[in-house]
Amino acid sequence: MIKAAVLGATGYAGIELVRILSAHPDTELCVLGSHSFAGQNIKDVYENFDHILDMDCTELDLDKVKECDVAFTALPHGASKTVIPSLVELGIKVIDLSGDFRYDDVKVYEKWYGEPHSSPELLAESVYGLPELYRDRIKTARLIGNPGCYTTCSILGAVPLLKSGIAKTDNIIVDAKSGVTGAGRGLGLPYHFCECTENTKAYKVATHRHTSEIEQELSNAAGEEVLISFTPHLIPMKRGILSTIYVNLKRESSQAELQKIYEDFYKDEYFVRVKRAGKLPETKHVAGSNFTDIGVCYDERLKRAVVISALDNIGKGAASQAVQNMNILFGLDEKTGIKDAGFYL
């Protein structure tokens, strides 16, 4: 059995990790770290765990965590990089759900996060945890920077076009909508029920941190620098992301050609479902799952590909993708514990 610690277990991504891992056939939950709820039983904090998991939350205790094989750090950005060096030094595999270890270039991180990185040597070592692109590197990693929700949705949607060579690399537009769980469990006026319900709004236009993460991976795919226009929106639902990606093409194409590019690229990927021509993704088809659904359309008039991608922001965009990475790290079937269909209702 893989002994696992979840640090930040009572946030939305953390508790989704706990839910998945509590039913994972090859994993034993050993530590639930939570500063806010230390000393309280997880089934009292989240009553859906009654009869499922009887375990107290604790403050961070390295003596307890060092007995684990893997630690998931579902901590706020900035906090992870202060804890992770100690975990790595103990020989524990670390899967970090913050943005602290996702970047190839420390200067890019420091520019977009507005603070120095305290462990640039570990940042240089960390592996970007998107299995569909970096599976072989993930297998031997000791530190994985688990991608964010907007980024996973956008990267998986755009990469096949950039890898194919048919896409222009300028003027890529990503228009994305996210459920409110993407803001985390902390209190804030913009996320109160009366502020969110029956309302849709854009935020952090041209300044969202995930812009830099998406650009990094699209640039890697294209083999040249790619800059994008990224606009996130908050929509009145709990979980899910839908991204619409506009990519101009170098030449005329067809629906059949674009369809084949995507079907060929993802033909061996269980967790990416390319919709057949005429069908488009919906968030209700992926909520509660580790799937990313992708549909592509050809705009013949503008010689442009329009890609629609959808995933669960706290599933494939956070917790279930982290478990997918754990499965790869420990040589398990990648689908173990996370192959179920979404909620739908």
Any residues with CB less than 8 A from the CB of 228 and at least 6 apart, and which? 172, 173, 174, 211, 214, 215, 218
Question: Looking at 66-70, 115-119, 194-198, which range is the least confident one?
Answer: 194-198
pTM: 0.96
Least confident of 92-101, 179-188, 292-301: 179-188
- Catalytic residue IDs: 149
With pLDDT > 90 as the criterion, what percentage of the chain qualifies?
A: 90
Q: Which contacts (CB < 8 Å, 24+ apart) does range 297-301 have?
A: 297/255, 297/258, 298/253, 298/254, 298/255, 298/257, 298/258, 300/252, 300/254
CA distance 107 to 344: 41
How sure is the predictor about 252, in pLDDT bands with cuts at 50, 70 and 90? very high
**238-249: burial string, b at 16+ Cβ within 10 Å, e else:** ebbbbbbbbbbb
| pLDDT at residue 320 greater than cutoff 80 | yes
Does the pLDDT value for residue 101 go beyond 80? yes
**Mean pLDDT value across residues 311-326:** 98
Reported confidence tier of residue 184, pLDDT bands at 50, 70, 90: confident
**Band of the pLDDT at 192, cuts 50, 70, 90?**
confident
- The pLDDT score that the predictor gives to residue 200 is 93
How much is the mean pLDDT over the chain?
A: 95
Helix 210-222 to helix 149-164 angle (10° resolution) is 20
The pLDDT assigned to 191 comes to 82
28-81 pLDDT, tens digit per residue, is 999 999 999 999 999 999 999 999 999 999 999 999 999 999 999 999 888 888
* pLDDT score, position 344: 87
Going by pLDDT thresholds of 50, 70 and 90, the confidence category of residue 188 is confident
Domains defined for the chain, CATH in brackets: 2-146+318-329 (3.40.50.720), 150-311 (3.30.360.10)
